[in-house]
């Protein structure tokens, strides 16, 4: 039982390049989330999904796209990377969404955009 895994762990991009971050969970969770973590700002929600085939915008969705083609996977895409997207990205999943359930986090992806 690996929990939540993220690929890659580190990445350096040049401005304008694209990439996809992969999140996988093996807990059969319905809900998945992508956050970014920046110094002094805590975690901010980028996009989330309430089930296979569904996605929705969070607090800071601009410049990102997501897909949830399979229940266990949640992909975060950057079509044209910008230096402002330099951050640590965390994926999380949870079973229930009613606000009492624990979110399980992946180890993070550190992205630098030059």
Partner 1 sequence: GDSVTQMEGPVTLSEEAFLTINCTYTATGYPSLFWYVQYPGEGLQLLLKATKADDKGSNKGFEATYRKETTSFHLEKGSVQVSDSAVYFCALSPGTYKYIFGTGTRLKVLA
Please choose, out of 11-19, 60-68, 71-79, 92-100, the segment that lies near partner 1 by the rule CB under 8 A. Answer: 92-100
Is residue 40 a contact residue for partner 1 (CB under 8 A)? yes
Q: Which of 54, 84, 102, 112 binds partner 1 (CB under 8 A)?
A: 102
Of 17 and 45, which CB lies nearer to partner 1 in the complex structure? 45
Q: Where are the alpha helices (DSSP H) in the chain?
A: none
Q: Which of 17, 19, 20, 45 binds partner 1 (CB under 8 A)?
A: 45
Upper half-sphere CA count for residue 51 (Cβ side, 13 Å): 2
**Across the chain, where does the E strand assignment appear?**
4-7, 10-13, 19-25, 31-37, 43-49, 56-57, 65-67, 73-78, 87-94, 104-105, 109-113
Binding site for partner 1 (CB under 8 A): 4, 31, 33, 40-43, 45, 48, 50, 56, 90, 92, 97-100, 102-108
């Amino acid at each position: 039982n690996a929990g939540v895994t993220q690929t890659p762990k580190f990445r350096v991009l040049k401005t304008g390049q694209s990439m996809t971050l992969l999140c996988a969970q093996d807990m059969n969770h319905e809900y998945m989330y992508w956050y970014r973590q920046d110094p002094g700002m805590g975690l901010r929600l980028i996009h989330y999904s309430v089930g296979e085939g569904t996605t929705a915008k969070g607090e800071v969705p601009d410049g990102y796209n997501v897909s949830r083609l399979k229940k266990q996977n949640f992909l975060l895409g950057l079509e044209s990377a910008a230096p402002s997207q330099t951050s640590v990205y965390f994926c999380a999943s949870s079973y229930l969404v009613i606000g009492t359930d624990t979110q399980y986090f992946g180890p993070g992806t550190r992205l630098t955009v030059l």
